[in-house]
Amino acid sequence: MGRTTNKQRRQNQATTAREKAALARQQHQRDAQRRRAMAVISTVVVIAVAAVVVAVVAINHKGKQSAAGNRVAANAATLQTLTSVSAATLNKVALGSDKLAPKKVSDPALTSGGKPEVLFIGAEFCPYCGAERWPLIQALSRFGTFKHLNEISSSSTDVDPNTPTWSFYKSSYSSKYLTFVPIENETRTKATLVNPTNAEAALWEKYTGNPPAFPFIDYGGKYVQTSQSYDPGLLAGLTQSQVAAQLNNPNSKIAKAIDGEANVTTATICSMTNNQPASVCLSPMITTIQSQLGG
């Protein structure tokens, strides 16, 4: 073998260095590509896991809602807004757009637990019942306290579909002045939910016919109401919180409808409770409405 000259040696070394550098660059590129690939795979995995979690939560939530007839627990802030409209607003609204729907009757006193009773018979699918629950809850909250109310919307296939409202199903109400008996007769899909007693059914049919119609409210055997006082379409497209947010604005059409009827309902209830509590029933606005309640 011949000897390698210094020049050849330097050339060989340079070639080896270039090859090593090239190999190093290739390895670096492969490592970079591998890191990018891993990053993409990790992102895809994270997105996939998140999608699965969201799907599971949605399915569980839908399952809970379906099992409960689309009822969800009432939002405390929304309920507080509904039941704490200022006296100044209520006085300014007064009758609002209410048509004085309660009609005077001469039935035997309707009582429960030694107190005058307000009987409500409605259905969760019914948009007219949905409209009536708003002022009824507001008015009754001036005499007592609700627990376990639920938010719901009326049927999506009936007139005024998906009217935002509340459900009295499995709720409770306590008051030292009166008893409230709510009957949600049918679900949002018109399945039987709660049946009235024979006595309740007799009153219901007496004033709404056979088959009986929704809604029906009996105020202690002194007044009955068999129709809504405002158009449920007024609430179309709104959520419960959006409806409640308008109730403290006396110039709002929604406030004039709901607050106005709540004032009429309050005056009607005061006729059952011998004007107790005085702080509610003896306000000039309420006594004026009482004097206008007719037959």
Mean pLDDT lowest among 24-33, 113-122, 169-178, 286-295: 24-33
Average pLDDT over residues 189-194: 96
Q: In this predicted structure, what is the pLDDT of residue 261?
A: 96
Backbone angles phi, psi at 225, to 5 degrees: -135, 130
Say if strands 145-147 and 223-225 run parallel, antiparallel, or are unpaired.
unpaired
| Section 253-260 average pLDDT | 98
What the block records as the tokens of 168 is 């009295």
Dist CA 137 CA 167 (whole Å): 10
Q: Give residue 156's pLDDT.
A: 95
CB-based contact 104:183 (threshold 8 Å): no
* pLDDT for the residue numbered 35: 54
Cα separation values, 193 from 150, 176, 185, 228, Å = 15, 28, 5, 22
Average pLDDT over residues 5-21: 49
Q: How far apart are the C-alpha atoms of 169 and 72, rounded to whole Å?
A: 11
- Say yes or no to pLDDT of 98 above 80: yes
Q: Which of the four pLDDT bands, split at 50, 70 and 90, describes residue 194?
A: very high
Q: In whole angstroms, give the CA distance from residue 112 to residue 243.
A: 32
Tell me how far CA of residue 5 lies from CA of 9, 14, 17, 19, 122, in angstroms: 6, 14, 18, 21, 108
Sequence ranges of the domains in the chain: 1-67, 72-292
What would the mean pLDDT of 30-41 be, rounded to a whole number? 54
The per-residue pLDDT for 68 is 40
Helix (H) or strand (E) holding 206: helix 198-208
Reported as a pLDDT band with limits 50, 70 and 90, residue 100 is confident
Mean pLDDT of the region 193-204: 98
Per-residue confidence (pLDDT) for residue 228, from 0 to 100: 84
Q: Which of 143, 144, 165 is nearest to 214 (CA)?
A: 165
pLDDT, residue 213, reads 97
Give residue 165's pLDDT band: very low, low, confident or very high (50, 70, 90).
very high
Structure tokens at 108: 């035997």
Range scoring the smallest mean pLDDT among 32-46, 50-64, 100-114, 145-159 = 50-64
Beta strands 111-112 and 115-122 are: antiparallel
Q: Can you give the pLDDT at residue 99?
A: 84
| Per-residue pLDDT at 268 exceeds 90 | yes
The whole-angstrom separation of Cα 88 and Cα 180 is: 27
**Model confidence at 295: pLDDT above 70:** no
- Tens digits of per-residue pLDDT, 49-65? 444 333 433 434 343 44
Note the pLDDT of residue 70: 86
Residue 138, token pair as written in the block: 């507001």
- The CA–CA distances, whole Å, from 118 to 31, 110, 172 equal 77, 8, 13
Tell me the pTM: 0.78
Average predicted confidence (pLDDT) for the chain: 85
What is the per-residue pLDDT for 220?
98
